[in-house]
Amino acid sequence: MSLTIEFYSAKPQELKALFTENTPLDTFVQKRQTFPQADFSFHLLLPDDLDKLCKILSTYHPLIPSRFQDVCVGPIWDDGLGTESLTILSEQFARALTECSESDIEQAALAWVSAFFPEGSRRNTLAYQAVLQLQEVARDVMRNKRSFIYHLAGAPAFFEYLRDL
């Protein structure tokens, strides 16, 4: 069981339509790839790991809150089952990410990834690359006047259960 966690630059109605239309899987995947995205679909514990990332990023930009929930503006779609949703993130969050230097983002990514990979080459990990992608998605949001959208799919309650073990 896993979670899909992605961040997109898109017009909300376009992305919502993609997730609500009955399209074949290969068409869905092709269309989804047309949106700039950052893929955080690896073993994260929510909300803890995204809160840790925000806390680290907040040391590089004062307008980034230390809790991920504080950048969530509101839902634009959910599947009604509590297993998949799209949420708009604040424009302020996108702007703050774009205002961070590439060096700051790289340092934040290394600091965040060190919790998952205490040794070895962290720059080659999906987690490190995802943080760099996050800044690229934020740049696209600001450049093209789109929305910053968070996609969550999976069963978060299962991971809450694991946390309590």
Going from N- to C-terminal start, the domains of the chain cover 4-164
86: which DSSP letter?
Answer: E
Sign of torsion over alpha carbons 19, 27, 39, 91:
negative
Q: Are 104 and 60 in contact (CB under 8 A)?
A: yes
Determine what percent of the chain is predicted with pLDDT higher than 90. Answer: 69
pLDDT in tens, 77-120: 998 888 899 999 999 999 999 999 999 999 999 999 998 887 77
pLDDT in tens, 77-87: 998 888 899 99
Distance (Å, whole) CA 110 – CA 132: 10
pLDDT at 37 over 90: yes
Residue 73 is inside which H or E element, if any? strand 72-78
pLDDT of 156 reads 54
- pTM for the predicted model, two decimal places: 0.90
Residue 139: CA atoms inside 13 Å, Cβ hemisphere, count?
13
Residue 78 is inside which H or E element, if any? strand 72-78
How wide is the angle at C-alpha 79 spanned by C-alphas 75 and 83, nearest 5°? Answer: 95
- pLDDT band for position 2 (cuts 50, 70, 90): low
